Structure 1
Amino acid sequence: MPRAIREAASWSWRILLIGAALAGIGWLLASLQVIVVPVAVALLLAVMLTPVRRFLQYTLRVPRGLAAGLSLAGLIAFAAALVTFAGQQVATGFADLSEEAIAGFEELTAFIDRQFNLDLRDYQSDVLAELEAQRDAIIAGALGAAATAGNLLIGALIALFCTFFFLHDPRGIWSWVVGLLPAGARDRVHQAGRRGIVTLSAYTRTQILVAGVDAIGIGLGSAFFVPSLSVPIGVLVFVGSFIPMVGAIVTGAIATVVVLVAQGWVAAIIMLGIVILVQQIESHVLQPFLMGQAVSLHPVAVILSVAAGSFVAGIAGALFAVPLVALLNTVVLYLNGHDKFPELGDGDKLPIRWLAPDAPPLRIPLRRVAADTADDS
């Protein structure tokens, strides 16, 4: 058998085996997404809130458990206040916007009638008849939405529960996870995990800052045209910006459409220019400067990650695809001998009980071991 055929066959069965394993993992995660997604959200929230918890614990001398609880409670209060204020703004401006939207729609239909000699009113009865025929499907969809709301409530409770414990005892949870691995691989996986968390922290905090800049810029721009809806638009842009590239484009387009309905074409073109300007500042100034080497992903990798994540798991997949790829990139590079964070070193060891039984004794004072065990770096 020629050597090229043997090598091609060897590569082929390995690639098929890896593909089957990845497909199995993807199917399992999709089946358990009611649990997996809240845990992933909790991990991102814990990374985001860790500086707050450390400030409360080490600066204000608040007990660790209470500091974790206060950090989580503060986040919930802030989110509730923001959503409440945005809801009030929507309720206040919806009446005016609905009148403007109706007027704009009537103007658009009149324009179409004049240009194409169509009477769209003839189709209204057909649309109403179709809606009547699809009544059962609409009711079934509403019931499905109610079931989805129940799943969201369960997921929110799981996310809050896991976030608290990720803040309260991250070191203990991570030690337990690493302890499930073969003894000889534990310390190496631990060091790779430390670097992965640094990447995840850099991504999360940078994405929060970038989303805030997008929300403020586009929200202020919309305030000149639809002041009653500037806060809801800013909140929408902030949330959507957590899906890199795609989210900012979609939410910016929504803001432009709202201005188009309310103020017409000229205002919409100006609003589009504001959206493009804000996104250019984000793409060419904030992202390269803040992400740096910590999250070194090419824009093509970002787009493909978002596309693959959305194809596999919808919105949740698009949201978590890029941080997952960035984390795996750092971990895999470290396991293959390329350390992106050599300044971290290997001094932070797992507790002795989790190391390999035949590992050489660590020449670390007992006080240092206790400190490392308590720390959550």
Structure 2
Amino acid sequence: MNKERVTVDISVWSVLKVILALILVALVYYLREIIILVFIAFILTTTLEPTIDRLQRRKVPRGLAIAGSFAVIISIVYLAFASIIPKLSEQISVLAGNLPTIVQQLGNQLFANNPQLASDLSNQAIEYAKNFRASVPSGLVSGFFSTAAGVFGFFVSVIAVLALTFYMLLEKVGAGRPIFKYIPVNEKNRAIHIFDKITKKLSNWLKGQFVLSGFIGVITYIVLMVVGLRDMALALSLFAALMELIPVIGPFIALIPAALLALTISPATAIAVMIAYLIIQQIENHILVPQVMRKAVGLSPLVILVGILIGAKVLGIIGILLAVPIIASLHVILEELYGANSKTQTRH
């Protein structure tokens, strides 16, 4: 039997394309922190640009409209923090001071049928809580410089995002003007269409996220005040609003501390909190999410969850928070490029 020799021709250009692709991937990974800041600024730009354009149509200079919008947003954020932070600090201080008592009450509730086990576990947990509380001052002193560096880095990132957003708005990056100059004429209309879809999705996602977080924060605060967790209502409702930024699993994370603290009051209170959180999530999932988020991004929960896991692995907490807008952008690109190609092939 004659064996046919199979030869595969690989051109130099094919090898170069593979090498260039690998270099590009490595470069993106190396510059990931800068790319994230640019992406966040781009999301803010797409959200603010319609307002800036409306002001400009009313004869307000674009630079003044941008500066005025920034001033209003920063003022609102400052007033919100100034009114919330003192109360929040007070509630956290009360929680830290009562930590041993809370742990003991929690142990008694969880292991009511086994007093000895409850006593042993409570004593160990109380000792740990006391050690943790005692170690906070020394830990703060020893970690002062690293904490200061982290805070400084955070503020530098915030300033960088604000500066990028300002100049993107000034140069109408959200409208794509600087980008389209470098795209071939025959591909320009398609690129504009894809770009417009991405910017619309990102803008709708951010607006929807604010709506959902605001709703969850306010309704959770009301529920916790009603069931008797008044001393921790603000802290827990803010935590729930922040966890809303993490799709799918965020609400379950928010439930854990609320249920445990409610259990220190009574099992009935804990059950009431869990039922209330469940009702809130049902309202959100069946009314708000379909109207706000699903129309905004059009992604299935499974795709979102996988994206969150990948984002957490690659970029940590930032990857979790940006998983949905990144996936939504990639979904638009793939849908437009490969969807259009498949339609063309079907016609032929």
TM-score by length of 1: 0.72
Rounded Cα–Cα distance in structure 2 between residues aligned with 1:86 and 1:129: 29
* 1:173-192, Cα deviation, whole Å (9 max, x unpaired): 83323334455433322221
- Structure 2 match to 1:158: 160
Task: Report the CA distance shift for 1:122/1:310 in structure 2 as closer, same or farther (over 3 A).
Answer: closer
Say yes or no: does 1:232 pair with 2:235: yes
What letter corresponds to residue 190 of structure 2 in structure 1?
R
* 1:283-310, Cα deviation, whole Å (9 max, x unpaired): 1221122345552211110111111111
Give 1:163-182 correspondences, 5 Å limit: 163-171=165-173, 174-182=176-184
What is the CA distance between 1:197 and its match in structure 2?
1.1
What is the CA distance between 1:126 and its match in structure 2?
9.6
**CA-atom RMSD in angstroms:** 4.1
Rounded Cα–Cα distance in structure 1 between residues aligned with 2:94 and 2:128: 29
Corresponding pairs, count: 328
* 1:310-352, Cα deviation, whole Å (9 max, x unpaired): 111011111111111112212222223559xxxxxxxxxxxxx
What is the CA distance between 1:162 and its match in structure 2?
1.2
- Structure 1 match to 2:289: 287
Which moved further from structure 2: 324-333 or 155-164?
A: 324-333
Task: Report the CA distance shift for 1:219/1:142 in structure 2 as closer, same or farther (over 3 A).
Answer: same
What letter corresponds to residue 43 of structure 2 in structure 1?
L
| Cα contact 1:34–1:155 (8 A) shared by 2 | no
- Structure 2 match to 1:308: 310
Out of 244, 249, 257, the residue aligned to residue 246 of structure 1 is: 249
Matched position secondary structure for 1:244: coil
What is the CA distance between 1:87 and its match in structure 2?
1.1
Task: Report the CA distance shift for 1:114/1:185 in structure 2 as closer, same or farther (over 3 A).
Answer: same
Task: Report the CA distance shift for 1:312/1:216 in structure 2 as closer, same or farther (over 3 A).
Answer: same
- Structure 2 match to 1:65: 63
- Structure 2 match to 1:102: 100
What letter corresponds to residue 186 of structure 1 in structure 2?
K
Q: Which has the higher contact order (CA 8 A, sep 6+)?
A: 1
- Structure 1 match to 2:42: 43
Task: Report the CA distance shift for 1:103/1:171 in structure 2 as closer, same or farther (over 3 A).
Answer: closer
Give 1:254-333 correspondences, 5 Å limit: 254-261=257-264, 263-333=265-335
What is the CA distance between 1:96 and its match in structure 2?
4.1
* 1:203-222, Cα deviation, whole Å (9 max, x unpaired): 22222212222112212112
Structure 1 gaps, min length 5: 340-377
Out of 184, 187, 211, the residue aligned to residue 185 of structure 1 is: 187
Task: Report the CA distance shift for 1:152/1:116 in structure 2 as closer, same or farther (over 3 A).
Answer: closer
Which moved further from structure 2: 100-109 or 234-243?
A: 100-109
Task: Report the CA distance shift for 1:253/1:75 in structure 2 as closer, same or farther (over 3 A).
Answer: farther
TM-score by length of 2: 0.77
Matched position secondary structure for 2:120: coil
Rounded Cα–Cα distance in structure 1 between residues aligned with 2:22 and 2:72: 38
* 1:208-253, Cα deviation, whole Å (9 max, x unpaired): 2122221122121122223344333333322321221222322233
Task: Report the CA distance shift for 1:145/1:24 in structure 2 as closer, same or farther (over 3 A).
Answer: farther
Task: Report the CA distance shift for 1:117/1:299 in structure 2 as closer, same or farther (over 3 A).
Answer: closer
